[in-house]
A = this chain, B = another copy of it.
Amino acid sequence: MTSKRYLIIGGVAGGMSVATRLRRLDEHAQITVLERGGHVSFANCGLPYHLGGVIEERSSLLLQTPESLRSRFDLDVRVRTEAVAIDRAARTVTARDLTTGEQTVLPFDALVLSPGSVPIRPPMPGGERMLSLWNIDDLDAAMSRLEAKPRTALVIGAGFIGLEMVENLAHRGIDVALVELADQVLPPVDPEMAGPVAQRLIDRGVDVRLGTEVVEIGPGSAMLDDGSVVAAEFVLGSVGVRPETGLARAAGLELGERGGIRVDDRLRTSDPHIWAIGDAVEKVDAITGEHRLIALAGLANRHGRLAADAITGRDIRVRDALGTAVVGVMGLTVAATGWNEKLLRSRGRDIRVLHTHPASHTGYYPGAETMSLKLLVDAETDLILGVQGVGGDGVDKRIDVIATAMAGGITASELAELELAYAPQYSSAKDPVNMLGYVAMNAADGLTPSIQWHEVDRAVEAGATVLDIRTAGEVDEGAVPGSLRIPLDELRDRLDELPEGRLVVHCKVGQRGHTAVRLLAQHGRDAVNLDGGYLTWRAGIDSRRLVAPAPAGTRAA
């Protein structure tokens, strides 16, 4: 029996998962890994935190070396070695040693492409001054630039990684400006959820510029499309990545309409001897069934293992992807999975939207923090289409629980029945996830009709009255303009004070509003609950204010 020759292009995340799993499955195979960069299996998600000094040692990001992989897994790992061509008919790959320029032809029985993605660099004057942070070489370049002790920095792009960059540069004591083309930070979540995150950045001194674009980067400053100039001795960009498909394209492998490598549900490309995984590959979206690019380490690792299983003859099926993600921003946790309201509405999906503002654990036990949760539900099937969370302690837990519920086909209403671990310092007898289920159930069976924060104006224009049932003390902290105020505990006795027509009822978070709507409905009134209460309405309205045109030149160099 001759041993199999397995060749893997790309030695980070997915590529290394393939290689080590292949070894466990086939002790006698020849397994070769080609990596264009100088390092394999490094902690790409840790890069911003070394930049910020939170992770002190660069070496702690280097999880494996070619030497450690040889001794433990008998892998032939070649760094600074680029795969330059695939000969599909001959089943060979030509590899070039980037140090010596020497070329080698490597035969394979199975080839795995795990080339990853590369940061997008918007073309502009001075664009070469924008650094990326996608691999160890990028990190080294950025760290050496920081030795000049810049006092000001600009981050372009307010996605998950962009915000990690902001946090870490601020952690170094640098004045940071953040520029984002969209009208909000964190485009994967909806504006009323992202608004408080932007506000937190502003409160911590970050110069946040939304709905604007950098048009030129100079030696110590950058110009935006509104003509303003921001000081920027150091510029980091994170405006997205594109799949690294050059080699696949040149080899004639099928690509998808999103520009990624197309694979089947067994991770096989259009060539039966070639598999592909990771950022370069299009995934199937679990909500829509469409192909989509999702650059997440978790999926890359998981698919790496599955590819090894498939190559060695195991029957695998790749699960459609939700794209769960989380980021820590200046003490806030933001996490999401599935689709958001913007996308679902743009597709014309019939959805129910729920906002809650629960405490991380019982209010009577010290240290409870408020979080905001948003659930997107299919109006017909009650299936969960997406969830978003922003807050402190316990946000990641609730998103993980709901991502698991989605994977298990648990409906929104069924969240009420989940048995989650409860003691006063961990949760509430009705966990925030259970509460979402209750709200979903009340929405599903029509008990409490609700409207969204962005629908209030239209309702008022149509003649509705906003009824604020909070206590006087709560109203003092801010209110919807023009609202009528009757505290819930007096409502039953003051029904005759209500004007005719529809009532848009709201409390602080939506829970008392539900009680009030039930009360009013049974007294024959047309009442709807403002979903998420005053807090969601406030966050939504405020999120619009954050896009106000920036005063020109406020941080001019």
Please report A residues at the B interface, Cβ cutoff 8 Å.
13, 20, 23-28, 43, 45-46, 49, 54-55, 60-61, 63, 68, 71-74, 160, 164, 296-302, 305, 314, 319, 321-328, 333, 335, 337, 362-366, 396-397, 399-401, 403-405, 407-410, 414, 416-427, 429-431, 433-434, 438, 445, 447, 488-490, 492, 514-515, 518-519, 522-523
Q: Is the CB of A426 within 8 A of B326?
A: yes
Q: Is the CB of A327 within 8 A of B423?
A: yes
Q: A396-B426, A397-B400, A518-B24 are in contact. Are A421 and B302 (CB under 8 A)?
A: no
Q: A305-B438, A366-B55, A488-B72 are in contact. Are A420 and B324 (CB under 8 A)?
A: yes
Chain B contacts for A365, CB-based, 8 A: 46, 49, 54-55
Partner of A408, one of B409, B434, B514: B409
Q: A364-B61, A424-B43 are in contact. Are A72 and B489 (CB under 8 A)?
A: yes
Distance between A326 CB and nearest chain B CB, rounded to angstroms = 4
Chain B contacts for A68, CB-based, 8 A: 489
Q: How far is the CA of A299 from the CA of B430 in the complex (A)?
A: 9
Q: Is the CB of B429 within 8 A of A297?
A: yes
Q: How far is the CA of A14 from the CA of B43 in the complex (A)?
A: 48
Q: Is the CB of A407 within 8 A of B417?
A: yes
Distance between A487 CB and nearest chain B CB, rounded to angstroms = 9
Q: A27-B519, A365-B49, A427-B396 are in contact. Are A335 and B421 (CB under 8 A)?
A: yes
Max chain B Cβ within 10 angstroms of own Cβ: one of A407, A430, A519: A407
Beyond A55-B366, A326-B421, 7 extra complex contacts between A and B, CB < 8 Å = A23-B518, A25-B447, A46-B362, A296-B419, A328-B425, A400-B400, A405-B407
Q: Is the CB of A417 within 8 A of B319?
A: yes
Chain B contacts for A515, CB-based, 8 A: 20, 23-24, 72-73
Chain B contacts for A326, CB-based, 8 A: 421-423, 426-427
Q: Is the CB of B422 within 8 A of A74?
A: no
Q: Is the CB of B403 within 8 A of A418?
A: yes
Partner of A296, one of B305, B422, B430: B422
Q: How far is the CA of A43 from the CA of B364 in the complex (A)?
A: 8
Could you give 9 example pairs across A and B, Cβ below 8 Å? A27-B522, A61-B364, A302-B417, A302-B430, A302-B434, A337-B419, A400-B433, A401-B404, A403-B419
Q: Which residue of B lies closest to A410 (CB)?
A: B408
Chain B contacts for A518, CB-based, 8 A: 23-25, 27
Q: Is the CB of B54 within 8 A of A366?
A: yes
Max chain B Cβ within 10 angstroms of own Cβ: one of A27, A299, A365, A397: A397
Q: Is the CB of A45 within 8 A of B434?
A: no
Q: Is the CB of A420 within 8 A of B400?
A: yes
Q: How far is the CA of A351 from the CA of B194 in the complex (A)?
A: 46
Q: Is the CB of B407 within 8 A of A418?
A: yes
Chain B contacts for A302, CB-based, 8 A: 416-417, 430, 434
Copies in the complex: 2
Chain B contacts for A74, CB-based, 8 A: 492
Q: Which residue of B lies closest to A493 (CB)?
A: B71
Closest 10 CB pairs of A and B: A408-B408, A326-B421, A27-B522, A397-B397, A71-B489, A297-B429, A24-B518, A324-B419, A60-B364, A404-B404
Q: A426-B396, A429-B13 are in contact. Are A364 and B322 (CB under 8 A)?
A: no
Chain B contacts for A523, CB-based, 8 A: 27
Q: How far is the CA of A130 from the CA of B405 in the complex (A)?
A: 44
Q: How far is the CA of A333 from the CA of B426 in the complex (A)?
A: 10
Distance between A27 CB and nearest chain B CB, rounded to angstroms = 4
Q: Is the CB of B424 within 8 A of A46?
A: yes
Chain B contacts for A423, CB-based, 8 A: 45, 160, 164, 325-328
Distance between A62 CB and nearest chain B CB, rounded to angstroms = 9
Q: Is the CB of B299 within 8 A of A419?
A: yes
Chain B contacts for A327, CB-based, 8 A: 423
Chain B contacts for A490, CB-based, 8 A: 71
Q: How far is the CA of A155 from the CA of B380 in the complex (A)?
A: 53
Chain B contacts for A43, CB-based, 8 A: 362, 364, 424
Q: How far is the CA of A515 from the CA of B305 in the complex (A)?
A: 14
Q: How far is the CA of A22 from the CA of B366 in the complex (A)?
A: 31
Q: A24-B514, A410-B404, A489-B71 are in contact. Are A324 and B519 (CB under 8 A)?
A: no
Q: How far is the CA of A522 from the CA of B490 in the complex (A)?
A: 77
Q: A407-B419, A518-B24 are in contact. Are A45 and B301 (CB under 8 A)?
A: no
Q: How far is the CA of A324 from the CA of B422 in the complex (A)?
A: 8
Max chain B Cβ within 10 angstroms of own Cβ: one of A25, A337, A421, A447: A421
Q: How far is the CA of A519 from the CA of B420 in the complex (A)?
A: 40
Q: Which residue of B lies closest to A492 (CB)?
A: B74
